[in-house]
Amino acid sequence: MTVTPVPAHATNVAIALNAVIAVVDGDRPKVLCVRSGENKLALPYGPFDPERHRTFEIGVREWVERQTHVSLGYVEQLYTFGDKGREAPAAALLDGHGERVVSVGYLALAPGPADLLAEDAVWMDWYSIFPWEDWRKGEPKILRDQIIPGICKWIDGSSTAEKKNTRQRRANIAFGLDGFGWEEERTIDRYELMYEAGLVFEAWRDRKDAHLDLPAGKQPTAGTMGQPMISDHRRILATAIGRIRGKLKYRPIIFEMIMPTFTLLQLQQTVEAIVGFEFHKQNFRRSVEKSGFVEGTGETAQLQAGRPAGLFQVDRAGLKDRAAAGLAVPRLKRPGETPA
């Protein structure tokens, strides 16, 4: 067997571990973050130490507990992120010396936000990071006033007709333009397009190290397009949100994000918070009652004015039998969309 020698100039690879811990607090979907140097927003993260960490999962659990004092329950591997350039801020914070940083992301779900004892830990509403993803009160103003015009300008600035057509097709799919319809799980597609178009703060911050062309238009200030995050952490979070939204339709993961007893209205509001759309109330209620996932407790709760609402709990036997099924999401129709 011939062994190819490693070039003297080869770049070392460092492995970073990141965690997305997602909950719904009332009607707000939140993610656990830490305030890094100079008050920068980050997901819990840290380097994988092959001497100390037998597995990646052991490592990510250790970093989350060390940084936030929150112990993780069930976690699943989300994705591996290794784009050149975007890791530069993380490499510095990981005491890197020219390494290429590959991030291994994990996803954890919980029924509610844990109390935070760590000073730098904070539960962030993920719509403060991605404000264009919340359609519960109609089309987000930032989408029509700033994002779509910026995307159109980026498309028109294409150097060739072929590139323009490709960009237009990607924008149509990601943002539901030209009759395509908005698909909530395409969170990462939308963020990636905004990054390429120079509409998010991170694109300007990273463009030199990522060897990207100078973005068109004016450089956005931090916070005008949602809260920026260090390194590629906003990209990791966008991937996680898309994963959660997609899995709702084919796995009963919503019951990992709800309290042991709940009303059907609370369940609906929890799902609406995640997908960013309001639902048709009666259609949602019927889909839940037919799903076999829940059963009544025989008790009621007085949550607001009006009659007490019946309390439900998860039907564990039904959940086990239908582990490969999700909930229907009968969202209300928006202008220009086909019914979901």
Tens of pLDDT along the chain (340 residues)?
A: 444 454 545 567 888 899 999 999 999 999 999 997 777 899 999 989 888 999 999 999 999 999 999 988 889 999 988 776 665 544 444 444 456 788 899 999 999 999 998 889 999 999 999 999 999 999 999 999 999 999 999 999 999 999 999 999 999 999 999 989 999 999 999 999 999 898 998 888 877 666 666 666 677 777 789 999 998 899 999 999 999 999 998 888 999 999 999 999 999 999 999 999 999 889 899 888 888 899 999 898 877 666 788 899 998 887 777 766 777 777 765 544 544 4
Two tokens at 287? 């889909």
User: What pLDDT score was predicted for residue 91?
Assistant: 43
The secondary structure element, H or E, covering residue 102 is strand 100-109
Candidates 301, 216, 225, 215; CA nearest to 259 is 301
User: What pLDDT score was predicted for residue 156?
Assistant: 94
User: What pLDDT score was predicted for residue 92?
Assistant: 41
Candidates 26, 188, 184, 32; CA nearest to 109 is 32
Candidates 40, 80, 93; CA nearest to 202 is 40
Query: pTM for this structure?
Result: 0.88
Candidates 257, 295, 334, 288; CA nearest to 21 is 257
Residues making up the chain, counted from first to last: 340
- Which residues on adjacent β-strands are paired with residue 34? 42, 121
User: What pLDDT score was predicted for residue 209?
Assistant: 62
CA dihedral 24, 64, 56, 237 (to 10 degrees): 40
Residue 106, SS3?
strand
User: What pLDDT score was predicted for residue 290?
Assistant: 86
The domains found in the chain, sorted by start residue, are: 13-128 (3.90.79.10), 137-228 (no CATH), 256-321 (1.10.10.10)
CA distance 54 to 6: 26
User: What pLDDT score was predicted for residue 210?
Assistant: 61
Candidates 231, 276, 247; CA nearest to 130 is 276
CA distance 285 to 94: 48
| CA pseudo-torsion sign 108, 86, 122, 238 | negative
**Three-class HEC string of 235-287:** HHHHHHHHHHHHHCCCCCHHHHCCCCEECHHHHHHHHHHHHCCCECHHHHHHH
**Three-class HEC string of 62-99:** HHHHHHHCCCCCCEEEEEEECCCCCCHHHHHHCCCCCC
Q: Taking every pair of C-alpha atoms in the chain, what is the biggest distance, in angstroms? A: 78
